[in-house]
Amino acid sequence: MNLHSGLREYTLTSALKDSRFPPMTRDELPRLFCSVSLLTNFEDVCDYMDWEVGVHGIRIEFINEKGSKRTATYLPEVAKEQGWDHIQTIDSLLRKGGYKAPITNEFRKTIKLTRYRSEKMTMSYTEYLAHRQHHHFQNGIGHPLPPYNHYS
């Protein structure tokens, strides 16, 4: 997917259609911070412990207790922010991916793990509006932009 259209699509999806949260409202915009993580340097590793907390994000693939292939991922900052070690992170990812059976060390060894890095950018809504206004004037249009709408 094209990065520009993908960001637009996933921004709208996460702001308005994520079933874990109520849709964002216009009143929330002034307090909004948006972060985008671009994931890079994907590497498949042989050992599920071959990654560094706070440096690598990890994506796991496993077969659940019903025989279905499942996946789950955490960005590089998640384990560090939660204070988790390797095992706690892997076990949390297994649960996130829907694994319900007891987790053993033998089962952990069956996981296919991919590590990656990410570059994260964060911007407040106020910074976004200032950037948008500046870009608009730089392009020689010379009049204020219309108010924000959900599809800008």
User: Letter for the amino acid at 75?
Assistant: L
Would you state the pLDDT for residue 45? 97
Q: Which residues of the chain have pLDDT under 50?
A: 143-152
**CA 23 – CA 15 distance, rounded (Å):** 6
Domain boundaries, given as residue ranges, for the chain = 50-118
pLDDT digits over 25-38, tens only?
A: 989 988 888 888 88
**Reported pTM:** 0.72
* CATH entry, 50-118, from 3.30.1490, 3.40.50, 3.30.70, 3.90.930: 3.30.1490
Q: Is 114 helix (H, G, I), strand (E, B) or coil?
A: strand
